Chain A
Amino acid sequence: MDINHQHRLKTRIGAGLRHITLFIAMSIICIPGLWIVLNSFRPTVDIMAKPPVWVPRGLNLDNYRAMFGGAGEGGVPVVQYFTNSLIISVTSTVIAILIGMAGGYAFARYRFRGKSAIFIGLLLTRAVPGVALSLPLFIVMAKTGLIDTHVGLIMVYVAMNVPFTIWLIDGFFRQVPPDLAEAAEIDGCTRWQAFWKVEFPVAKSGVASAGIFAFLTSWNEYALASQLTRSTFSKTMPVGLRDFTSEFTINWGGMCALAVLMIIPALILTFLVQKHLIAGLTFGGVKG
C-alpha cells in the first residue's frame, strides 16, 4: 500500500517536472519570434524606452506604413524586394526540382560505374561554404555580366539546391518497387508514361518535401545574395533587411516589420506541407 502510494507520487512528480521543462523549452523557442512580431507594432519610443515598457501600449501599424511608404520616410522598396525574392525562389525551386527528379531517378534506377563517387561528389558541392564560394563566383559573374540579375541568382540557387534535392528524391524513388514500373511497361506503357503514371504519384510526397527545402533555402539565403546583388533590381528580402541598418544605429521597428513579412510566406508554406516535410527528411535519409 505504502509502496504503491510512493510510486504514484514519484510518477506524478516526474510528469510535473516533464511538463515544466517542456514549457520552458517551448517558451525559449517561441519568445524570440514573438518578440520580433510584437516590436513590429510598437513605436520606436517604446522600443528604446528606459526603463523598459513591459505592457504593450500604443500598438500601431506605423512601421509597416513607413516601410511601404516612400523612400524619404525611411521606407525601403519592399514590394520590389518581395517580388525579387518570390521570382527567384519559385523559379529556382521549379528548375531544381526538375533537375533533381531526373538525377534522383537515375541514381535510384540505373546501375553505372562510379555511381557512388558521382553521388558523393554532387553532395559535396553543397558543403562548400557560401562565403568561400561567393568570392570566385563574384569574379565570374562580374565578368559574364550576371551580377545584379535575376538569372545569376537563380542559377546559383539551382546549383545550391540540386544536390540535396537529388539526395531526397533518390531516397523516395528507391522506395517505389521497380516491379511497378515494369508491370506498367509490360502492359504497354512507354518508360516515360510508366514514370509519370506509376512511379511519380508514389514518390510525390518526396518531391514535395524536396521542393519546400529548396524554396526555404532560396528564400532565406543571404551570404551569396549579399554579394551578387547590387540594386533594387535584384536584391532579395534577406539582403533588404540590411537597409534598416546604418553605421551606428538600427531601425529596429522597421526591421521587425520586414522580418514579419519575410516569415509569413515561409510559415504558411511550412504549415501546409508539414507532414511531407517530416516524411521527406526521415525517409529520404534513413532508407535512401
Chain B
Amino acid sequence: MFKIKLPTWFVLILPAILILVAVVLIPLLLSLYSSFTPYRLTRPDTLYKWIGTYNYEKAAKSWVFWSAFGRTVLLLTIALNLEMLLGLGLALLVSRVTRGQRALRTVMMFPMMFSPILVGFQFKFIFNDNVGLVNNALQSLGVTTAAIPWLVDQKLAMFSIIFAEVWTSTSVFAILILAGLFAIPKDPLEAAKVDGCTPWQTFRHITLPFLMPFIYIALAIRSLDVARAYDIVNIMTNGGPARRTELLWTLIGRTGYVDAKMGYANAMGYVSIFMAIFFTIFFFKKLSAARAELGMAG
C-alpha cells in the first residue's frame, strides 16, 4: 500500500477541475480536432480525414460568415451599451424614490427570472405582425393601418431582437448599480455640495467613479453568458428571414445540426469561443483595475 499525500487545496479544487475537464475541455479538444476534418454527422468515417485549416479558410472567405460575425459584434456592442445606460438610469431613478422602493426593486428583478427561450417566444408573440401586442396597439390607436413586419424587415428585426435582449438584461445592471449607489459613502457627496458642485459635477466626478466597479461586475457577469442571446434569436427569427438576422451562433447551430457539417461548424464555433473569451478577459481586466482604484483589490 502506498499513499500519496496531496495538498489540501488540490483535493478541494479537484472535483471542479474533473467535471470541467469531462464536460468542457474534452469536448472542446474534440471539436478543435474535428474542425480540421470534413466531419459530417451522417458520415462518421470523415472524422479521420485530416484537411488542415481548410474549414478556417473556407470561413475566412465566406461572406455569410463575416456578415454574421459583424452582426454579432454589432448586436453585442449596442445591447451591452444600451443595457448599461438604461440600467444606470433606472437605478438612479429608483434610488431617488423614498416610498415603495423595495417593491420597485422586486419588479425590476422580474425579467431576470425569465428563461431566454421564453423571452424569445414572448417577444415573437408581441412583435407578431398579425396578432402581436405592438401592432394591435398601433392599429387600434390609429397610428398605422398596415401590419408592420417587425420580425421580417431586416432593420426592424434587429431592433426587435435588441429590444428583447435589452429587456432581459437591463435588470442585472440596474440591480448591481443600485447596490453600488447605496454603498457610496455620504461624506464626499456632502463635501461636494458644500463646495458648490452642480449635481452633474457631483455625479460625474464622485458618483460615477465609485459606481464603475459595479458596472464592470455587471459587464463581467453578462460577458460570461452573452451567448444566451442565441436562445432569443433562435426562437424569434432563427437568423432568418433569408439570413437577415443571422448571428454567429445561429449560423453555427444551423451548419452543425441542420446541414450536419460538424467540422465546419466547429471551426466557426472556435471563432465564437475566442470572441467570448476576449470579451470576458477584457471586462475582468477592467474590473480589477476599477477595484484597485477604489482600494478593494483582493
* Residues of A in contact with B (beta carbons under 8 Å apart): 18, 21-22, 25-26, 28-33, 35-36, 39, 47-48, 50-52, 54, 98-100, 102-103, 105-107, 109-110, 112, 118, 120, 122-137, 139-140, 155-156, 158-159, 162-164, 166, 174, 216, 219-223, 227, 238, 241, 250, 252, 255-256, 259, 262-263, 266-267, 270-271, 274, 277-278, 281-282, 285-288
Q: Does B148 contact A (CB under 8 A)?
A: no
Q: Whole-angstrom distance between the alpha carbons of A185 and B239 in the complex?
A: 59
- Partner among B114, B116, B167, B276 whose Cβ is within 8 Å of the Cβ of A127: B276
B8 to chain A, nearest CB (A): 7
| In contact, A288 and B273 (Cβ under 8 angstroms) | no
Question: Could you say which of B96, B179, B234 contacts A281, with CB atoms under 8 Å apart?
Answer: B179
A131 with B19: in contact, given A18-B93, A33-B110, A282-B214 (CB under 8 Å)?
no
Comparing B59-67, B123-131, B152-160, B188-196, the segment that makes contact with chain A is B123-131
Interchain CB contact (< 8 A) of B106 among A32, A134, A137, A274: A274
**Given A102-B12, A158-B19, A140 and B27 contact (CB-CB distance below 8 Å):** yes
Bound-complex Cα distance A131 to B27 (A): 12
Do the beta carbons of A123 and B280 come within 8 Å of each other?
yes
CB pair A238 B117 closer than 8 Å: yes
* Bound-state Cα–Cα, A223 to B233, Å: 11
A159:B22 contact, CB within 8 angstroms: yes
* Interchain CB contact under 8 A, A124 and B131: no
Q: How far is the CA of A277 from the CA of B176 in the complex (A)?
A: 10
Instruction: State in angstroms the CA–CA spacing of A126 and B262 once bound together.
Output: 22
Q: Which residues of B contact A112 (CB under 8 A)?
A: 7, 9-10
Q: Is the beta-carbon distance between A286 and B20 smaller than 8 angstroms?
A: no
Q: Residues 209-249 of chain B: 1 if any A CB is under 8 Å from the residue's CB, otherwise 0?
A: 00001100100110111011011001000000000000001
Of B49-57, B77-85, B200-208, B264-272, the segment with at least 4 beta carbons within 8 Å of chain A is: B264-272
Interface of B is mostly: helix
The reply to whether A132 and B273 form a contact with Cβ atoms under 8 Å apart is yes
Q: List 13 A-B contacts (CB under 8 A).
A: A52-B131, A110-B12, A129-B230, A133-B28, A136-B31, A136-B34, A139-B27, A159-B19, A222-B116, A222-B117, A255-B125, A274-B109, A277-B109
Give the residues in chain B near A163, CB-CB below 8 Å.
16, 20, 224
Main secondary structure of the interface of A (DSSP, over half): helix
**Which of A39, A282, A285 sits near B220, CB closer than 8 Å?**
A285
Give the docked Cα–Cα distance between A238 and B118 (Å): 7
Chain B contacts for A107, CB-based, 8 A: 13
Evaluate contact between B27 and A288: CB separation under 8 angstroms: no
Write the chain B residue with the least CB distance to A171: B298
Say yes or no: A156-B23 contact (C-beta < 8 A), given A103-B13, A136-B266, A287-B298.
yes
Proximity bits, B94-114, A CB within 8 Å = 1, else 0: 101100000011111111111
Taking the closest CB of chain B, its distance from the CB of A18, in whole angstroms, is 6
Q: Smallest CB–CB gap between A165 and chain B, Å?
A: 9
Candidates A122, A174, A221; contact of B298 at CB < 8 Å: A174
Q: A252-B131, A266-B113 are in contact. List 14 more A-B contacts (CB 8 A).
A: A25-B89, A26-B104, A28-B167, A29-B108, A102-B12, A102-B15, A102-B16, A124-B280, A129-B230, A131-B253, A135-B252, A155-B22, A238-B118, A241-B121
Given A107-B13, A252-B131, A127:B280 Cβ within 8 A: yes
- Report the minimum CB–CB distance from B203 to chain A (whole Å): 14
B289 contacts A by Cβ under 8 Å? no
B48 interfacial contact with A, CB 8 Å? no
Complexed CA–CA distance, A105 and B14 (Å): 12
Q: Is the CB of A255 within 8 A of B121?
A: yes
Task: Pick from A110, A128, A252, A267 the residue with the most CB of B within 10 Å.
Answer: A128
Bound: A261/B93 CA distance, A: 32
